[in-house]
Amino acid sequence: MSGLPELNYPAFHRAAEGLRALGYEVENPAENPEPPCKSWAGYMRMSVAQVARCDEVHFLRGWSQSRGARLERQIAESLGLLLSGAAS
C-alpha cells in the first residue's frame, strides 16, 4: 500500500466488498485503525495477526511489489493457508 495513491485503499475496499458479497468473512488491512506509533511496523503487527486468523488469504494484483504483502504471503504460506494470486 505504501507509495500508491490513497495507499491503494480503494482496491482493498473493492476486493473486500466482492468477497463479502460471496459470503466470506473478510479481514481487510485497509480497515485497520492507525496504530499509536504510526509506523509501518505498527501496521504490520496488526496485519500479521489478521493473517494468522484467516483460513484463506487473497492478494491484490501487484502484491509482489509490496514489502508488507511479501511478508504476509510468506507467513500465509508457512501456515499452510490456501492462497489466491489476485482479488479485484
DSSP the chain: -TTSGGGGHHHHHHHHHHHHHTT-----GGGSPPPTT-SHHHHHHHHHHHHHH-SEEE--TTGGG-HHHHHHHHHHHHTT-EEES---
- 51-80: average pLDDT: 91
Query: Which residue range is the domain that position 33 belongs to?
Result: 5-84
- The pTM assigned to this predicted structure is 0.84
For the stretch 18-36, pLDDT in tens is 999 999 999 999 999 999 9
- Give the pLDDT of residue 2: 76
Instruction: Specify the number of domains making up the chain.
Output: 1
Whole-number average pLDDT of the chain: 89
Q: What percent of the chain has pLDDT over 70?
A: 92
